[in-house]
Structure 1
């Protein structure tokens, strides 16, 4: 798809408004739009292996025990590139082979509480890893919030930014095959199909993402990291095709008020500006659909005489019953409200299934407006992502061929058809909704309309209180950072785990 994007730079500058709907706009010398974990993890290995000076891994979670290339380990546990397949051992090997490489891993402190089974591996990395591997837990956020950015920067010149975490249950192919034995948990159980997305970026925009990542490290640890100087070697994963060159990319953030800093809600403003400017189609993929401000904006657009089509792709259900009761009750209320406004039949919300009719979990965070605006990032369409959690998205504007082609790629994957058939059907139907419904009639994969479930009393209480989906409010700012914090729990848990590991090693040593 590769295209030169400089002809749209002036238009992009007019739409993006730094410190309103984005942080800054920087050029990407090369850009790739990455869909699903198979391509991402393969590209990530290549980037880690190429880095020579600095690797910044900023994320919601890191699981050091998972295989990066499932099913490809040899008898020694190595991937086809000759390095260990498991994340932790691979990172150790990458540092060993690059004498000047420093690796910084910043993980949300609450992840060790949400997923305690990964606490020991995190503690092991912290206590026993290479001296040039630096690990920290991030607790610099209001109580109950989380650090949700997913950014990886190599040598200040290449970055991934999107929605894919380096953790369990993120790897899958674009086919989302039923019963794929490579899609397996550490306990040996088969995992369900998983749909995700991120971006690969090289050039000045990666430099800015490096600045953002180092700022996050400083706030979490108090340590100032000096960026590496000019990197002589070229960094790009050979497995990724380049989708665009010399293209302006906006970086947008969510940061809640904390320690006297004001709310940053650039992502929310960018979503709202994008919805307001839509002419024909608003296409969204998100893990959730509960954001009050976004739903209000969509309600206003659907109430117009000639509204755009609004297509939402969500998972059928949440990952746990508790989460489903809370978040999907809120989603049901949003759907009910938008259906009231939808006097022209222009609103649909779907969930993808594979060829065996199994639900595919949607973890991607994407918005495409017409063939004009594309957002990809870590932010969900929930109130947390608009003003409570820490998020980072990237966006492009005005590159119609690139944007429309990417929407074709997503829809053809969900519908299990060729991009040519999708394009031809869209040309005949003149409508994305009509195209989806026409191709849904074919046997195989499809996008199924989401069916609303009745509210239980538990779901009603959780939804009314927005326990799982809070929005930071000004009156809380005076208490930010005070009292019992998730980091206190995480540090205590990490200490216990480190002690446990030390005792095990001591006993093993004494037995020798």
Structure 2
């Protein structure tokens, strides 16, 4: 087995490994249930690699008793739950790596994290990752338990991510820590077991080494499976590729395997390209799709995006770029092969799309942390897994995603697809005027700020292959993280000893 994450076997991916089991997990309600069971079953080493972790969230909203315990008898909140698991599992070490910029984006979440690392068990370890260029983001979302099972996708264990696949209007469980309602939220991750999980463990330990300078030994192989009994297996004994984006830093070159995998998929697509993404602004990806739309027999392209971003500034920064890209695609779409939609609830409320999914011809599935924007292609740190050449399994997973958006069963969706023959015609046949449905995404109003942000790509930069990336010795993200960490640590000590 290749154990060096710096060796690239192919420009399209880092490694190809066997997955004994593979599961597509849709929306955070199901993910948090599976994650909780896997964490409880961990015995030696639990690796938590994320953009952010909010230790105060309830993993199972609405299921706590008067003592804050979930139905399994352990604390419902993530932080106390991790503490209890370490207490019960006497050999378990937990390593939590989060983006150091998260202390600036959400400073209130740092104190509980440091409190757990400093005042909690000595077997819970924390690192803030600043091993990236200034302004870049550690964006991977990976969990690995004992190298036996791993999760990789788009779901963060943080606030405002929880929702069910029903996306019920006014669901009383879908609230923030203040009890305020949060938006319906669509998200996707995956689970793998076997050698593919061990490879993600290797990648995660390498990330820890870069962030802390500490080498972690892999866990001792275990014979008993810790795959949750109620986690549906969508495919067995399949090859899974792992692809990365890593910006150039401290002499290491750009790794843009995810971008190359996307571009190869677009070039090779025969019938359909299906995309779910938080953004749609990657210049290389949109240009490649543009070229295919000019072909008379080129593939149909269906994109699912959120209607609006999470803030007005983000909307200006990212969706002006999306509007410009979509305008170019529509201009080239002489064969009527392109659609871009946003999903809504049964009450017509927009569902925020945070998923990162790319499917080619119902055969190859890419899923992970990478959005369709420049940052994810060559600036932020990302990880995707790719299920290759699995027509039945991947088609079934694509059917599941679209059936959810259209509010129909997978059986009805499949029958309609067989009747209509194309993805766009099937969506048109099933897309009602009310209830769960997909709505056409319209151009948003432009303004001076959005034009400036789009012209400069200030919030969506990237590095390109072979670009000169000489880095000065100025302020780096880790310096800002250290300052914020010192402030939070002082607060913890003051609270404990005052």
Interval of TM-score (by shorter of Structure 1 and Structure 2): over 0.9
1:235-258 deviation digits (Å, cap 9, x = unpaired): 112221111111100000000111
SS at match of 2:147: coil
Q: Does 1:350 align with 2:341?
A: yes
* CA–CA distance in structure 1, aligned partners of residues 84 and 206 of structure 2: 27
Q: Does 1:413 align with 2:404?
A: yes
1:207-231 deviation digits (Å, cap 9, x = unpaired): 1100000000000000000011121
Structure 2 counterparts to residues 184-195 of structure 1, below 5 A: 184-195=175-186
Contact 1:255 1:264 in 2 (8 A): yes
Residue of structure 2 in register with 1:477 after alignment:
469
SS at match of 1:105: strand
Residue 483 of structure 1: how far off its partner (Å): 1.1
Distance 1:171-1:224 versus aligned 2 partners, 3 A rule: same
* CA–CA distance in structure 2, aligned partners of residues 199 and 73 of structure 1: 26
Residue of structure 2 in register with 1:439 after alignment:
430
Contact 1:256 1:472 in 2 (8 A): yes
The one of 391, 405, 421 aligned to 1:400 = 391
Q: Which runs of 5+ in 1 are unaligned?
A: 1-16, 508-512
Structure 2 counterparts to residues 100-499 of structure 1, below 5 A: 100-441=91-432, 443-473=434-464, 477-479=469-471, 482-499=473-490
Distance 1:121-1:310 versus aligned 2 partners, 3 A rule: same
Residue of structure 2 in register with 1:4 after alignment:
none
Residue 452 of structure 1: how far off its partner (Å): 0.2
> What is the number of residues matched between the two proteins?
490
Q: Does 1:28 align with 2:19?
A: yes
Residue 232 of structure 1: how far off its partner (Å): 2.9
Residue 497 of structure 1: how far off its partner (Å): 1.2
* CA–CA distance in structure 2, aligned partners of residues 395 and 232 of structure 1: 26
SS at match of 2:492: helix
* CA–CA distance in structure 1, aligned partners of residues 227 and 445 of structure 2: 49
1:123-145 deviation digits (Å, cap 9, x = unpaired): 21222121000011000000000
Q: Which runs of 5+ in 2 are unaligned?
A: 1-7
Residue of structure 1 in register with 2:30 after alignment:
39
SS at match of 2:211: helix
The worse-fitting range, judged by mean Cα deviation, of 303-312 and 41-50 is 303-312
1:55-77 deviation digits (Å, cap 9, x = unpaired): 00001000000000000001110
Residue of structure 1 in register with 2:3 after alignment:
none
* CA–CA distance in structure 2, aligned partners of residues 78 and 412 of structure 1: 35
Distance 1:476-1:84 versus aligned 2 partners, 3 A rule: farther
Q: Which runs of 4+ in 1 moved over 3 A?
A: 473-476
1:140-178 deviation digits (Å, cap 9, x = unpaired): 000000101111000011100111111011111000000
SS at match of 1:479: coil
* CA–CA distance in structure 1, aligned partners of residues 61 and 75 of structure 2: 12
1:335-385 deviation digits (Å, cap 9, x = unpaired): 000001100111000000000100100010001111221100000000000
* CA–CA distance in structure 1, aligned partners of residues 335 and 192 of structure 2: 40
1:442-461 deviation digits (Å, cap 9, x = unpaired): 53110001010231010000
Residue 303 of structure 1: how far off its partner (Å): 0.7
SS at match of 2:469: helix
* CA–CA distance in structure 1, aligned partners of residues 233 and 388 of structure 2: 18
Residue 19 of structure 1: how far off its partner (Å): 2.7
Contact 1:46 1:238 in 2 (8 A): no
Residue of structure 2 in register with 1:12 after alignment:
none
Contact 1:44 1:237 in 2 (8 A): no
Contact 1:159 1:200 in 2 (8 A): yes
Contact 2:348 2:434 in 1 (8 A): no
Contact 2:21 2:194 in 1 (8 A): yes
SS at match of 1:301: helix
Contact 1:42 1:239 in 2 (8 A): no
What is the aligned-residue RMSD (CA, Å)?
1.1
